[in-house]
Chain A
């Protein structure tokens, strides 16, 4: 087990190239006290409020070069030739590399190796990397890249996912079949088509990192990534190096939300560092970031919901088409989630779902918070509202009647089993969802204040209304999200814990490779160590490939998985300490933690216990809509979420607030617009994310229905609020306007089109 980080970072393998400051800012901050259930100050908080925390974009090494990527301006083209002569000739340029210079394997990918390191004669999306440059400054590197002459033969891009399906171009098709929908005789049927735009994670920290060549011909990488071991597995073959010649440490991460699951700068900067023998830093600007990572899949979904006269769901049919873009990324797994979670947390015995991930020449899509659960959630919740209305039931009552309960089956046949089997509701099995829906009664919808400031009205300081034309609406949304990896994936995390006496104090050292992306995972590890070992002082070692894999900081899984691994390692240390004395030397244990095995989905019926844990979140949104101008102001968001166990109240609330905000963004403003494969709005000027003026006050009710299988009973909490806030807001806008609204983001023109004057 390595030593803790010292203020100058990990000991360098070759002489004078230590990072100027500790990568990722992991150091030895005082942690204060605070175990599981409390909100101690974050270990990284002080460095983050005084400007000293080192993000990947803040790295600097002596003699460092800057790398830059030349990307294809075309969504589809054949490359006839690349001429780098003019670029090489610029003073200060140290390397210009193309696919011909890739030392090893030519492709990489998270699940399927289909993404070229550098384009191999054909580009398949706008922004595909074609060549890379290293130079003494970023300016020079950019200028050189402009001088690389690429002769493109333009080809017709395939941009409509339906065309792709017709041509058999897709990454995965997953059906779910249950019962016999066509044999049912319903009392009410609602069939609609829904459209979800392409959302971007837009973490504020840009993609960045640095690669430092080592004396033995290897390379050290410092990079903002969600899963350092998956990076290593993909990078090593492309560099033609044995994995033990590559050391990767996570550098400070400025948010992730799925955008850092796929590789970005990693192989490129390593190639440049190996080619020049010098440290190379890469950092995307915002425009490049928008094309330099995958996005949330845009979707077209046709849903048909039917109910009987008692207000019970009879059947659901759904056709879900996700656009995976040009390369596989995680589309396969996203399609699995979309299919298995296609009807949400409701009981229904007759189901026919067909879910596709199409391959097109649009930007590649992959992981974003909610991962395949978001698109379908908007559709099934909209359907639940429409069907409730058709039946003359309130949205809450209709959902309550159909809510899954202990022992219910999801559409995949998976039994809902992670709740207290002893608990009953009026003699019926306990339904956590029905319970959560009931809690909104305790929290009144905010009243319309008497004399309102115009800044509180839709349009805000634009001074567009004094209240005339403004209508209030209220809506609900429920989200069901799987936690951890599903469908038989071998999902595990590793933690090492060492306890020793330092200066008369007992100190626990915790070493994992888990990425702190902002969610507060460092705090959580320290809290667990304090609770399990009864120590005050916990030191967190750098998150790097010297530790065993922790898996990705995604799928709401790190509290469960790496939390579970740290807990297990602490328990092992405690056990060892029964017959050992710390005075005789340190005590250390490493543990690998796995969750219960999951099963693949049957390729024909979709049946299978594919998920390990499910988490629920319910939102109620209150909105004011200026129905003449189509402007929306979200006035209140109230959220009831089941987290199993509150591990850290402050961090948990922060996750719910932030997840809710991203759902609001998708509901009313966020969309990457593409035209024939070309991104039209790759900037914060044109791609809007919620500001503090867009966000309403949020009220939370946190429920703890423990999952007996999970560490401390916890349920993953980061993603569910991102699912449910979107449909709740759109439902509220429908309530205010009476419009059907089947497309998100909802834009002003969707709200005013019926008035007959086009904007």
Chain B
């Protein structure tokens, strides 16, 4: 059975021969896209989180057969640069095995809520296990990313106005 999807903006076809094959297995074992991690295959750890038509899902719990014509975004395509930078700058990455899933969850959170408070962050990331960091620096990173994205949002319209305005260009 052929399943056509868009993965991180590119058209992809997976030739799935097992009826229950998970999206996680298709991404990793069939398409060689190893960015999404497998730490439990039971929907318990969040390492395999991707966006499916914009919604965060555990890709180990989604059957590839359900993904015909749908849009999949992984850590490669779902995460704004400021979120990645904030994780690096805040020391939110240790072994990094949880990181791809966390980054996708954070990207989703910040798309919904520009400046989330701690309880909102904790609620949103409760499905992503991390064994290394104790989560403290992950929360720091979410705040730092929110701030950087707010700054960027403020600057971006100004830049585009300037670029589009002949009057302001000397």
Contact = CB atoms under 8 A, between A and B. Distances in A.
Interface in B41-90: 41-42, 44-45, 47, 74-76, 79, 84, 87-90
A690 B126 CA distance: 10
B146 interface: no
A49 B87 contact: yes
Scoring B95, B96, B129 by chain A CB atoms within 10 A of each residue's CB, the highest score goes to B95
Contacts of A489: none
B137 A202 contact: no
A60 B94 CA distance: 24
A51 B35 contact: yes
B94 A286 contact: no
Given A206-B39, A654-B133, A685 B94 contact: no
A20 B28 CA distance: 14
A42 B129 contact: no
A692 interface: yes
Interface residues of B, number: 55
Contacts of A204: 37, 39, 45, 47, 95, 97-98, 129-131
B134 A695 contact: yes
Contacts of B76: 50-51
A397 interface: no
Give chain A's interface secondary structure class: loop
Given A52-B35, A658-B134, A683-B42, A254 B88 contact: no
Contacts of A697: 118, 136
A468 B96 CA distance: 41
A596 interface: no
Interface string A181-217: 0000000000000000000011111100000000000
Interface string A615-651: 0000000000000000000000000000000000011
A46 B125 CA distance: 21
A171 interface: no
Give chain B's interface secondary structure class: loop
Given A204-B130, A204-B131, A684-B45, A53 B96 contact: yes
Nearest to A664: B134
Contacts of B130: 204, 692
A189 B84 CA distance: 56
A49 B133 contact: no
Chain A interface size range: 35 or more
B56 to A, nearest CB: 15
Interface in A36-76: 39, 41-42, 44-46, 48-55, 57-58, 60
B132 interface: yes
Scoring B75, B87, B90, B135 by chain A CB atoms within 10 A of each residue's CB, the highest score goes to B135
Given A41-B89, A654-B137, A50 B84 contact: yes
Interface in B74-128: 74-76, 79, 84, 87-91, 93-100, 103, 118-119, 121-123, 125-128
A285 B41 contact: yes
A657 interface: yes
B131 to A, nearest CB: 5
A698 B134 contact: yes
Contact of B135 (A44, A51, A517, A661): A661
A139 B18 contact: yes
Given A205-B39, A660-B134, A51 B18 contact: no
Interface string A446-460: 000000010110000
Interface string B18-46: 10000000001100101111111110110
A520 interface: yes
A223 B44 CA distance: 25
Interface of A: 20, 39, 41-42, 44-46, 48-55, 57-58, 60, 138-139, 201-206, 253-257, 285-286, 453, 455-456, 461, 517-520, 650-651, 653-654, 657-662, 683-685, 689-693, 695, 697-698
18 contacts: A49-B84, A49-B88, A51-B74, A57-B38, A58-B28, A201-B131, A204-B98, A206-B39, A255-B94, A255-B132, A257-B131, A453-B119, A654-B132, A658-B133, A692-B121, A693-B122, A693-B126, A698-B136
- 8 nearest A-B pairs in the assembled complex, by CB-CB distance: A51-B35, A518-B95, A657-B134, A48-B96, A254-B97, A650-B91, A684-B44, A661-B134
